[in-house]
């Protein structure tokens, strides 16, 4: 009899107290018949029952009990069910592609059945029209609705384009979902980015981030101020109740901007935004890299001459400043085994290739040869001044020359020492790689860089502390790693290799980073 202690204790209390029990959905009885639990069945994951009793929610191993009641599942024909609700950007293309690849990996057949205008059910079955093994119900709502469905018990996973809010986390804890802000309750599924978009007929090709904010907030209203024609700018944005709309607000409304231009045209979908921008030569929109459609991306530049576009590597390393991670949020209770296996699959190399083919940025680490980073070192030389000497640059080349840069990079939230969401995911990914022995026999160097504000000596010290903090976070997360099988060092070069101009918060944030270099 394999009943959890909490369940056994609660059952014994019920029996000993002799309390009357109201009509319940199910009754779980031990195979010996000496312990009985009654309650409302909250869920069954193929292995464990979750039952709401008068003593609270209990989890009971199904192998040790017999279930009686109209709501008892059919153990011989059990089908794993999971509902995902949230951002259509994730649910329309990426999630179906991952489910299809997972079914192929498991040797299962996949069928699709629309259940409403915004919902689709994907059924995974044994080959040859055999027994269904699992059903993935995908609802294309938005990020807000996805969290609302999770809180209401109408979904088990949220497809989100933003982090959970404080109020959602509080309500989630009250609903028994655990702490949704805990790293174990979410994962970064893929990466996207916000990009400034114009039509093919627009002659403007670059824009600085301060200029972009002024356009969006209504301070700059004419293309002539950006080097274009003497004509008004038509601003296009995502609806504020969409995940991308909320990410745009969080990313762009910093540095004193109070709000977006009153006349901004709002769109419910990325496809609608890109189509509208492509048809208007006077339009400027903020859309997603994955839904650019027939539009053109403006490169982000600065007074110091740097220019950056949302290339795959620039997004993966967060060298591009407007990255937008795509999240899956999960409850604290156990999900069915097939669903757990799917979640494990989403982190594998095969799934990362699916993510890339679907038009998003994967998180598979890449090693970049130093020969492919000539522009970075050239910028370091061009930007060198009184605080960065020739000796500093020569030492950097001597140390990094024999190494390769990993695309795994760590950056921090604005005005905080807390790692941003993408970087927290990178900590987990690197820790799992260390636990698997992937980097055994190699040398990993955590290299700290800073922005150019303040004294170079102080910036070096701060960059070193950040590199140490990231290394320690990875070591603490990699609980089962055999760290004696590899070498992990810390180095710093402060402001010696900037990635962007220091004339904006985005530029300074891009420069404050910890990179991983590997031999």
CB atoms within 10 A of CB 268: 14
pLDDT score at 14: 37
**What CA–CA distance (Å, rounded) separates 189 from 326?**
6
C-alpha to C-alpha distance for 350 and 428, rounded to whole angstroms: 18
Q: What is the pLDDT of residue 385?
A: 62
pLDDT at 517: 92
| Residue 15 confidence (pLDDT) | 35
Q: End-to-end alpha-carbon separation of the chain, Å?
A: 52
Sequence-ordered list of residues with C-beta below 8 angstroms from that of 26, at least 6 positions apart, any chain: 38, 39, 40, 41, 49, 51, 67, 68, 69, 71, 72
State how beta strands 234-238 and 283-288 pair.
parallel
Band (383; pLDDT cuts 50, 70, 90): low
For CA atoms 323, 304, 226, 295, the dihedral sign is negative
Q: What is the pLDDT of residue 305?
A: 66
DSSP 439: T
CA–CA dist 43, 60 (Å, integer): 11
pLDDT at 169: 93
* DSSP strand pairing (513-518 vs 404-411): antiparallel
Q: SS3 breakdown of the chain: % helix, strand, coil, rounded to 5?
A: 35, 30, 35
Q: Provide the whole-model pTM.
A: 0.80
Mean pLDDT of 496-514: 79
CB atoms within 10 A of CB 153: 14
- Residue 13 DSSP SS3: helix
* Highest mean pLDDT (candidates 35-39, 66-70, 426-430, 442-446): 442-446
Residue 44's pLDDT band, with cuts at 50, 70 and 90, is confident
Alpha-helical runs (H) found in 166-302: 166-174, 209-217, 243-252, 270-278
Residue of 342 and 244 predicted with greater confidence: 342
Which of 48, 45, 46, 24 shows the shortest CA–CA distance to 36?
Answer: 24
Alpha helices in 184-288 (DSSP H): 209-217, 243-252, 270-278
pLDDT recorded at residue 52: 84
How many beta carbons lie within 10 A of that of residue 483, not counting itself?
Answer: 13
pLDDT tens, position by position, 113-125? 999 999 999 999 9
Q: Is 502's pLDDT higher than 80?
A: no
What's the confidence (pLDDT) of residue 333?
85
* pLDDT above 90: percentage of residues in the chain: 45
Instruction: Enumerate residues 6+ apart whose C-beta is below 8 A from 214.
Output: 220, 257
**Residue range 424-469, pLDDT digits in tens:** 888 988 999 999 889 999 999 999 988 777 777 888 888 898 999 9
**Rounded Cα gap, residues 396 and 376, in angstroms:** 12
**What structural domains does the chain harbor?**
5-75 (2.30.30), 77-189+327-343 (3.40.190.10), 192-316 (3.40.190.10), 365-518 (3.30.1330.60)
Distance CA 208, CA 196 (A): 10
- As a whole number of angstroms, the distance between CA 24 and CA 38 comes to 6
Which residue did the predictor score with more confidence, 17 or 148? 148
Q: Which residue from 421, 326, 317 is spatially nearest to 372, judged by alpha carbons?
A: 317
> Cα dist. 233→48, 81, 253, 475 in Å?
58, 48, 19, 50
d(CA 53, CA 43): 13
Looking at residue 420, the DSSP 8-state letter turns out to be: P
Report residue 154 as tokens.
Answer: 């109408």
């Amino acid at each position: 009899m394999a009943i959890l202690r909490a369940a056994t204790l609660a059952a014994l209390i019920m029996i000993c107290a002799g309390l009357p029990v109201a009509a319940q959905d199910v009754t779980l009885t031990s195979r010996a018949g000496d312990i009985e639990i009654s309650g409302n069945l909250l869920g069954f994951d193929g292995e464990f029952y979750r039952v709401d009793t008068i003593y609270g929610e209990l989890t009971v191993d199904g192998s040790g009990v017999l279930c009686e009641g109209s709501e008892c599942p059919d153990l011989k024909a059990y089908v794993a069910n999971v509902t995902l609700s949230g951002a259509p950007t994730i649910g329309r293309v990426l999630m179906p592609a991952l489910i299809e690849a997972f079914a192929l990996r498991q040797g299962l057949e996949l069928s699709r059945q629309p259940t409403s205008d915004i919902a689709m059910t994907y059924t995974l079955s044994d080959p040859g029209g055999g027994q269904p093994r699992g059903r993935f119900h995908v609802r294309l709502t938005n990020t807000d609705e996805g969290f609302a469905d999770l809180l209401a018990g109408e979904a088990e996973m949220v497809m989100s384009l933003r982090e959970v809010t404080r109020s959602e986390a509080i309500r989630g804890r009250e609903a028994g979902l655990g702490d949704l802000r805990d790293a174990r309750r979410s994962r970064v599924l893929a990466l996207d980015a916000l990009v400034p978009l114009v039509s093919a007929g627009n002659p403007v090709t670059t824009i600085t981030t301060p200029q972009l904010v002024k356009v969006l907030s209504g301070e700059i209203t004419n293309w002539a101020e950006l080097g274009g024609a003497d004509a008004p700018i038509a601003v296009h944005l995502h609806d504020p109740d969409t995940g991308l709309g909320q990410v745009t607000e969080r990313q762009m409304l910093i540095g004193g901007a109070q709000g977006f231009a009153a006349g901004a045209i709002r769109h419910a979908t990325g496809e609608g935004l890109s189509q509208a921008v492509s048809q208007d030569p006077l339009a400027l929109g903020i859309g997603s890299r994955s839904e650019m459609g027939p539009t053109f991306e403006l490169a982000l530049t600065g007074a110091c001459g740097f220019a950056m576009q949302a290339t795959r590597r620039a997004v993966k390393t967060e060298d591009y400043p407007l990255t937008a991670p795509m999240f899956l949020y999960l409850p604290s209770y156990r999900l069915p085994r097939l669903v757990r296996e799917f979640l494990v699959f989403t982190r594998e190399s095969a799934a990362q290739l699916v993510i890339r083919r679907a038009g998003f940025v994967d998180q598979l680490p890449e090693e970049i040869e130093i020969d492919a980073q000539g522009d970075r070192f050239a910028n370091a030389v061009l930007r060198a001044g009184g605080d960065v000497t020739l000796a500093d640059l020569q030492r950097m080349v001597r140390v990094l020359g024999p190494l390769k840069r990993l695309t795994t990079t760590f950056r921090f939230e604005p005005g905080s020492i807390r790692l941003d969401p993408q970087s927290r995911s990178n900590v987990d990914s690197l820790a799992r790689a260390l636990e698997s022995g992937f980097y055994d026999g190699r040398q990993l160097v955590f290299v700290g860089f800073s922005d150019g504000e303040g004294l170079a000596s102080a910036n070096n010290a701060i960059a070193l502390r950040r590199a140490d903090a990231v290394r320690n976070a990875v070591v603490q997360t990699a609980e089962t790693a055999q760290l004696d099988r590899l070498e992990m060092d810390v180095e710093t070069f402060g402001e010696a290799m900037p990635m962007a101009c220091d004339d904006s918060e985005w530029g300074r944030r891009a420069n404050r980073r910890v990179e991983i270099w590997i031999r």
